Amino acid sequence: MSGIFKAYDIRGLAPQEINAEIARKIGAAFGQYLQGGRIVIGRDMRDTSASLAKALAAGALSSGLQVFDIGMATTPMLYSAIIRRDFRGGAMITASHLPKQYNGIKLCREKAIPLSGDKGLPEIEALTRDMDTPPQNQDQEQKIDFLGDYIEELSTFIEGDEHLKVVVDAGNGMGGLDTPRLIPRFEHCDFITMLMNPDGEFPVHVPNPAIPSTTEKLQERVKTENAALGIAFDGDGDRCGFIDEKGGRIPADLMIAVLAEYFLARSPGATILYDLRSSRAVPERIRELGGKPLKTRVGHSFIKSKMRKDSAVFAGELSGHYYFQDLGYIDCGLMAMVVMLNLLGKKQQSMSEMVRPLMKYARSGEINISTKEPDRMLEVLASAYRDGERAHLDGLSVEYPSWWFNLRKSHTEPVVRLVIEADNEDILAQQRSKLMEIVHQNGGEVDNPE
């Protein structure tokens, strides 16, 4: 069980690290943590998800919880069920965007507030660690159907009557469950769908739109179909990536600034959160639109908490998570699609024209670095760049007038992640070279996915 409790969720190889026995213990521990009430459980399409969901339900029942099962679902659908049906908490069996050999559990309390490494997951881990396997309870979870309610909720946000052609790739993930049910509600749009059949083997590509190779076929399809927009969902539907009409990938942080226009038109002066890896263009654009940009650390549990605290209407991350006050502060890829189509239908601009003014800085993208001593790597760089304006909101951020970088430990993988941005390509190349030299001298190796 060691190592499966992460900063935001529980995740590991299945069944080697996470299996039915462990899931049953986690379910029982979850019941002890909540101290009674009704919970709802959902799962993705992975081969091991059904057995893990069944085991977690059994553990939860053994500790006195009432358990309701919504079957296969996206993570945002599970969140919505917790909020709309007033459950005490919920659990989603998923490993999100990771390859097929992984699985995991996302736990929430009321209002879909996530348990995290800061609060909730350490207590669950401690309860689970020394627990005997709970006995099989004779009670059974109760089945409920929530998909229809979820689609009705999302459809209330659809606006406009502009004709748009859109290509959507679900990556054989759970986006294939809700997307086909929602797209008929866009009576003015033509949708072309790809890989809508949920398949835990992921026969074409891993459902992770952050990896450039996973969107290559989508990019080509957007161009051949002369579509206005392409959208790719991750495995559990809480993230998405956007492709412009020319087949170009749009950086997810710049999409925060694009989508912000929709919310600031509805709520002038509102607060919008962006994660600290985002381009300087993001807060600059939010201010231009009359909004209040606030920088936040990375991670859905931290962002949701800060959104509630600051009453932010919208938030986004470089990873492609977008969060909506309208939905109860949850992240939802499908809602991001709805908002973007609403905005695109109102604008007399193409996607590339909307994004072009934001592409004013030279950017490295996120660089994964393997290192055996991540803390030492942070210390070395903090010392090497002590003449800059340093901050430790999440890892190490160092700012200079013409460039900045952030280095932070991943909460999901054994790497540190580096982001660099500069006023132009020459400065970026120069500073990246210096950073990489220090990284290599201290045992770090670039380890980005293909």
Q: Which residues are catalytic?
A: 96
Instruction: Find all residues with CB under 8 Å of 245, minimum gap 6, and list them.
Output: 222, 226, 227, 228, 229, 350, 351, 352
Beta strands per DSSP E along 227-380:
229-233, 240-243, 249-250, 271-275, 292-296, 314-316, 322-324, 330-331, 362-363, 367-370
* CA–centroid distance for 6 within its chain: 15
- What the block records as the tokens of 376 is 């030492």
Q: Whats the size of the chain, residue-wise? A: 450
Rounded-to-integer distance, Cα 91 and Cα 286, Å: 35
Nearest residue to 107 (alpha-carbon basis) of 205, 162, 39: 39
Q: Are 118 and 21 in contact (CB under 8 A)?
A: no
Nearest residue to 388 (alpha-carbon basis) of 372, 407, 371: 407
Instruction: Find all residues with CB under 8 Å of 198, minimum gap 6, and list them.
Output: 44, 45, 72, 170, 172, 173, 174, 176, 177
Three-state secondary structure call for residue 46: coil
Q: Quote the Cα angle for 182-184-185, to 5°.
A: 70
- What the block records as the tokens of 362 is 């030279």
Give Cα separations from 325 to 21, 303, 305, 314, 322 (angstroms).
Answer: 37, 12, 12, 6, 10
For residue 15, whether the previous peptide bond is cis, meaning omega lies within 30 degrees of 0, is: yes
Give Cα separations from 435 to 179, 238, 431 (angstroms).
Answer: 43, 33, 6
